[in-house]
Structure 1
């Protein structure tokens, strides 16, 4: 099968190299490589953000990244996508005409808009699959800016696509409210690289020690955006109730830019005001390899994000054998099993969170049980190989079936 993956806002090459990147790019990178491992030929069509080159790049056996120059060669802001989608769609049509795929899979509303326009111009009946990892109606519920035009486009794309893929039951519910039949919406979760994120392996250099024993401080780790939506302010207030705990916060920007980042500055002031600045460390963005090592050095993973459509960091923590304490939002609710792989919280008030963490600090047996269950769940349900296999099955259902040819007949003379 020849598969065209369309993502106007993803950068899979850094993800392929293990550099810090966004969840959408990670998804695209791992899905493409694992579809190729199943015997398919995959081309990723992305908007070019590299000011130096727009050449096609091989990302592994049977996977090619084909950048499209459409607008400035830099990441775009949300409001800029619509301005350059028409150019992207025209040039995408040229690429698809030169190498027609069997199926097209678009990620996000701007990619879906370009994909449908390209198929119309090709005048060929190529099935289009649409993935939404985040919907604006969901984002509005947590205070992110409303985008009425995007809401209308997402509803239209969901109705026109042959199949719609989402990460969580929450997103399927939102689409049902838009009138999209549940039968056409498939939940395909985010995955985790269980070769890299695993219980076995070294801890990270500056934090070499492994899981704490009795009498040692509880090491808490969070992988979060540093703006208020990431919920890190709540974690810092929680640390005032855990005088023997230490907190590592992993997230953008790069370490060398932390000193001038407004959100990092705000959090550092907050930690000083709470009297916990010696308990809290902002690490900045780290490579995938270093993140796995940092997770293995910790005792518990915490997420207090107000919105997390992917749940990727929770899955990576589970794969490394960490118990997880998390606010029940987005993709996290499907990743975790409350009371089995950790604790899901409906609200993450500092007093409630501190109570749960104190219980875990005092009960190494419970932490170990959560960690074992989490690692087992990650390896059995959320590998990228399984994500790719589930996606492949959806593709195959949409492809036209070739009628079986009648057997040749004769008398054998």
Structure 2
């Protein structure tokens, strides 16, 4: 089976320089690898954002990455992303005509727009299109993020023209149903986690914790530093959890934290709350170091306004951490409230602190949540299972004579 993964603004190629970090890139990289392991030939099509990576590269056995020239060879800002989709679609049409796949799978709305345009130009039999939305603007607006009327319209049009739509959570399927897309057209395939890398057993990180474990409960969060990340809420909650310390992982590198406006704003929040000596902004870390850092904590917390992936929560669960998080996006499908952690309707400093104080004082509950979370992450969210469920979506849209065989192990799920 020849599979084309279209990911205009994300690419798995950074795996050669350390693992990719953005949610889209992690998803594409992991899915491509596991589809190839199941015997399929996978090509990832992405926009060239680095002159050194132009052209075709081999990511691994059975996986190639084709960087198509469309616009400047540099990363684009959010407001620029749609500007070069027309050029990307034209380059993609030529690539698909030269090597026509059996199925095309697009990630994100601009990729879906490009794929629809490219497929219209094929003179031979058009391969089916599967569309993944990691995030929908209507859902972002409900979380208080900026609205983009044109994007909402295009997301609805792309969903209506795709042969199948894949979303990360039941919440997104509900949003698509509100937009008029029949539920049978939409499959929920969750975001995954690398359970070979993120697991409860293994070493822990000594730093950056400021107190000994017996002195303070260690709370960790992997998130951005912007207002939508909920980092402000996490920091303010610490004023009500006096025997705990908080480490926030994310944002720019540690060398650039001092000049980052969001980091400076959060440092001021910590000082005003009187918790600056118990809060550490660590900056970004190498993903290979992240499991050790997670295992060194006692509790994982997230107060994000919107989290379409839930990937950081899954990685914490896989490392055996109890989770306290806002019930948004992909998090709602990952965390079982009262079993693997606690879900909050709204993340306010007082309600967050109440739960954190309870977990800080109850090691038995922390342990039970952690064991259940690690088991759930390994059994439900491993990338091998995510790839198998994605293959089943492909099989439903393929012509009967081309239907792919069931991947080894599918019947075990």
TM-score category, normalised to shorter length: over 0.9
Residue number in structure 2 paired with 1:299: 298
Q: Which structure would you say has the larger Rg? A: 1
Residue number in structure 1 paired with 2:198: 197
Secondary structure of the structure 1 residue equivalent to 2:172: helix
Residue number in structure 2 paired with 1:262: 261
**Structure 1 pair 403/8, CA: closer, same or farther in 2 (3 Å)?**
closer
Unmatched segments (≥5 aa) in structure 1: 405-413
**Structure 1 pair 144/208, CA: closer, same or farther in 2 (3 Å)?**
closer
Tell me, in whole angstroms, the C-alpha distance in 2 between the residues paired with 1:269 and 1:188. Answer: 40
TM-score (ref. length: structure 2): 0.94
Unmatched segments (≥5 aa) in structure 2: 404-413
Query: Do the aligned partners of 1:203 and 1:210 also contact (CA within 8 Å) in 2?
Result: no
Residue number in structure 2 paired with 1:409: none
Residue number in structure 2 paired with 1:176: 177
Secondary structure of the structure 2 residue equivalent to 1:240: helix
Secondary structure of the structure 1 residue equivalent to 2:268: helix
Query: Do the aligned partners of 1:194 and 1:379 also contact (CA within 8 Å) in 2?
Result: yes
Query: Do the aligned partners of 1:249 and 1:281 also contact (CA within 8 Å) in 2?
Result: yes
Tell me, in whole angstroms, the C-alpha distance in 2 between the residues paired with 1:298 and 1:15. Answer: 26
Residue number in structure 2 paired with 1:144: 145
Residue number in structure 2 paired with 1:60: 60
Deviation for aligned residue 1:398: 1.2
Query: Do the aligned partners of 2:21 and 2:287 also contact (CA within 8 Å) in 1?
Result: no
Residue number in structure 2 paired with 1:116: 116
Deviation for aligned residue 1:82: 2.5
Secondary structure of the structure 2 residue equivalent to 1:165: strand
Secondary structure of the structure 2 residue equivalent to 1:271: helix
Structure 1, residues 248-267: CA drift from partner, whole Å, max 9, x if none? 00011111110100000000
**Structure 1 pair 318/403, CA: closer, same or farther in 2 (3 Å)?**
closer
Residue number in structure 1 paired with 2:352: 353
Deviation for aligned residue 1:211: 10
Deviation for aligned residue 1:78: 2.7
Tell me, in whole angstroms, the C-alpha distance in 2 between the residues paired with 1:228 and 1:278. Answer: 22
Query: Do the aligned partners of 2:11 and 2:44 also contact (CA within 8 Å) in 1?
Result: no
1:100 aligns with 2:100: yes
Query: Do the aligned partners of 1:209 and 1:297 also contact (CA within 8 Å) in 2?
Result: no
Tell me, in whole angstroms, the C-alpha distance in 2 between the residues paired with 1:262 and 1:403. Answer: 53
Report the aligned-residue RMSD: 1.7
Residue number in structure 1 paired with 2:411: none
Residue number in structure 2 paired with 1:282: 281
Q: What does residue range 243-392 of structure 1 map to in structure 2 within 5 Å?
A: 243-392=242-391
Structure 1, residues 189-218: CA drift from partner, whole Å, max 9, x if none? 000000000001111242589994xx4310
Secondary structure of the structure 1 residue equivalent to 2:58: strand
Structure 1, residues 282-340: CA drift from partner, whole Å, max 9, x if none? 11111111111100000000000000000000000000000000111110000010000
1:50 aligns with 2:53: no
Tell me, in whole angstroms, the C-alpha distance in 2 between the residues paired with 1:57 and 1:229. Answer: 36
**Structure 1 pair 345/194, CA: closer, same or farther in 2 (3 Å)?**
same
Deviation for aligned residue 1:16: 5.7
Tell me, in whole angstroms, the C-alpha distance in 2 between the residues paired with 1:308 and 1:86. Answer: 29
Query: Do the aligned partners of 2:13 and 2:20 also contact (CA within 8 Å) in 1?
Result: no
Tell me, in whole angstroms, the C-alpha distance in 2 between the residues paired with 1:143 and 1:358. Answer: 28
